[in-house]
Amino acid sequence: MSTRDTTAVDTATAQDAPVGAPRPEVTPPGPWSFPVPTRSTLPNGIEVLTYDIPGQYVVSVRTAIPLPLSAEPREVEGVATVMARLLDEGTAEHSPEEFAELLERKGIALGASVNEAGVGVDLDVPKRRLEEALELLTLAVSEPVFPQSEVDRIRRTRLAEIEQERALAPQRAAREFVATFYDPQDRASRPSAGTAASISALTRQDVVDFHARHIGPQGMTVVVAGDLSDLDVVAMVERTLGGWRAEVEVPAAVPARRAPDAARIVLVDRPGSVQSEVLVGCAGPDRRAEGGWAPYPVLGFIVGGSPNARVDAVLREEKGYTYGIRSVFRPRSSGGLFLTSGSVRADATVESVQLLLEILGSGRDGFGEEEVRAGVDFVSKTAPGRYATADAVADEASSMALEGLTTEFTTRNLEQMRGLEPQELTDAYRRWVQGEWTVVVVGDASTYADAIRALGVGEVSVVPN
């Protein structure tokens, strides 16, 4: 239809509408709750959570194995990451090639990851192939063989990643931040996937021993989400993972310690940079925070979670120094961080650091009703969309499990969030933001080091890239 025809139809429709007809009433969305799972515990200790989500015919399976990174031997840190990447590279029954072919033929996407709280092995599979996928998942976690050739390949890949991380300003800033913020004796002060020295020292036997010592069904949670109609999921899991027997160590998580001299500025010198990557942070809460976790996602949004947030309103919209800077409260299993990061024009580095610290400090003066309502509405009312798919539901449930929580926490948190008032947000912000910042800037330090020192906001040191 031409533009002219479309206009004619639109005009006719408007003319046919009754004069003064009432507009449809738009009502606010009602309260939303996270889906409620069915819970079962298998004889070998595995907890099974099933979320029946009609219409989601690709089923998501997530496993959560509690294993703090502090369990890694210091000399081979990164062994957990290498081990996780090798779980689908051959089993006692199948060579790496055979295992890959089986996954592909059955439409199974399988992967593994590691964070500071544990190991996750995940898969997504068409509903009709679920039990076959669980059989392969069981082989992957219980009978990996870690072929020497694959260990060598994964080790080379990780060493290449380390070089790439050093070359990318955001990753380089993050690495320097944890090294500055955390006590140097603490595992949290070093890269979660290992350093060049620890990865180079790692052997196949280290991987084998680490798996045998720590990967087993004790404390493990299996989450299955999707359209589960006509499936006896618990029976499937019991026939597969339920037969796994292994006695392993599950070390207790150790809270990360802040370095005594964390409140300072570190300039990572990268001569010739046309941008500077800035990362500012301080200690933050975990999800069991005094007064509840609900204020903190909202605070992150208000301060630096959107183009309309306080930081971008000045540094992007008013000054034009950046394409965007973001803030987030990032919880760990114990404690957490409040981080603000982004890149700015090199010639605006000094003023950007000064303005950023002033804006972050201004939150201690309070938050207005309008910005609080905008933050609460965005974070709470977008939850149904964020958790609309099976994989998002499974991801949330497995993440909560690694922290010793359930998705009932997610529902309670959203309920608390909807009732937040400005003073509650101000009190929560003041509880953690004390002005003791760890600041990392990656850029051409020779052009602004003296000016940064002249700001008088903390001790300044310069380190090579």
Tens digits of residue pLDDT in 148-182: 999 999 999 999 999 999 999 999 999 999 999 99
Residue 12 confidence (pLDDT): 43
Q: What would the mean pLDDT of 119-146 be, rounded to a whole number? A: 97
Question: Could you tell me what percent of the chain has a pLDDT over 70?
Answer: 96
Q: Which of 243, 277, 298 is at the close of a domain?
A: 243
Same-domain check for residues 239 and 387? no
Same-domain check for residues 146 and 279? no
Positive or negative torsion for Cα 246, 247, 253, 254: negative
Q: Does residue 271 carry a pLDDT above 60?
A: yes
CATH number at residue 431: 3.30.830.10
Q: Does residue 405 carry a pLDDT above 60?
A: yes
Residue 1 confidence (pLDDT): 37
Residue 374 confidence (pLDDT): 95
Does a structural domain hold residue 260? no
How many Cα atoms within 13 Å fall on the side-chain side of residue 266? Answer: 22
Number of separate domains in the chain: 2
Calculate helix-pair angle for 407-418, 390-402, nearest 10 degrees: 100
Find the domain containing 226 and state its range: 38-243
Q: What would the mean pLDDT of 303-325 be, rounded to a whole number? A: 95
Q: Where residue 19 falls among pLDDT bands split at 50, 70, 90?
A: low
Does a structural domain hold residue 227? yes
Q: Does residue 10 carry a pLDDT above 70?
A: no
**Secondary structure of the chain in HEC code, one letter for each residue:** CCHHHHHHHHHHHHHHCCCCCCCCCCCCCCCCCCCCCEEEECCCCCEEEEEECCCCCEEEEEEEEECCHHHCCHHHCCHHHHHHHHCCCCECCCCHHHHHHHHHHCCCEEEEEECCCEEEEEEEEEHHHHHHHHHHHHHHHHCECCCHHHHHHHHHHHHHHHHHHHHCHHHHHHHHHHHHHECCCCHHHCCCCCCHHHHHHCCHHHHHHHHHHHCCCCCCEEEEEECCCCCCHHHHHHHCHHHCCCCCCCCCCCCCCECCCCCCEEEEECCCCCEEEEEEEEEECCCCCCCCCCHHHHHHHHHHCCCCCHHHHHHHHHCCCCCCEEEEEEECCCCEEEEEEEEEEHHHHHHHHHHHHHHHHHHHHCCCHHHHHHHHHHHHHCHHHHCCCHHHHHHHHHHHHHCCCCHHHHHHHHHHHHCCCHHHHHHHHHHHCCCCCEEEEEECHHHCHHHHHHCCCCCEEEEEC
Same-domain check for residues 70 and 215? yes
Same-domain check for residues 338 and 384? yes
Q: What would the mean pLDDT of 358-380 be, rounded to a whole number? A: 96
Q: Where residue 7 falls among pLDDT bands split at 50, 70, 90?
A: very low
Same-domain check for residues 184 and 226? yes
Does a structural domain hold residue 30? no
Residue 431 confidence (pLDDT): 97
Q: Does residue 3 carry a pLDDT above 50?
A: no
Same-domain check for residues 43 and 120? yes
Q: Does residue 15 carry a pLDDT above 70?
A: no
Same-domain check for residues 291 and 198? no
Q: What would the mean pLDDT of 191-220 be, rounded to a whole number? A: 97
Q: Which of 174, 209, 243 is at the close of a domain?
A: 243
Same-domain check for residues 369 and 300? yes
Per residue in 92-109, pLDDT tens? 999 999 999 999 999 999
Ranking 28-42, 221-235, 314-328, 364-378 by mean pLDDT, the lowest is: 28-42
Same-domain check for residues 178 and 306? no
Same-domain check for residues 158 and 295? no
Same-domain check for residues 223 and 321? no
Q: Which of 208, 243, 278 is at the close of a domain?
A: 243
Residue 25 confidence (pLDDT): 82
Same-domain check for residues 237 and 269? no
Residue 29 confidence (pLDDT): 72
Does a structural domain hold residue 24? no
Residue 177 confidence (pLDDT): 98
Q: Does residue 446 carry a pLDDT above 80?
A: yes
Does a structural domain hold residue 411? yes
Residue 2 confidence (pLDDT): 40
Does residue 55 or residue 31 have the better pLDDT? 55
Does a structural domain hold residue 72? yes
Does a structural domain hold residue 28? no
Mean pLDDT across the chain: 94
Q: Does residue 258 carry a pLDDT above 50?
A: yes
Does a structural domain hold residue 153? yes
Residue 14 confidence (pLDDT): 44
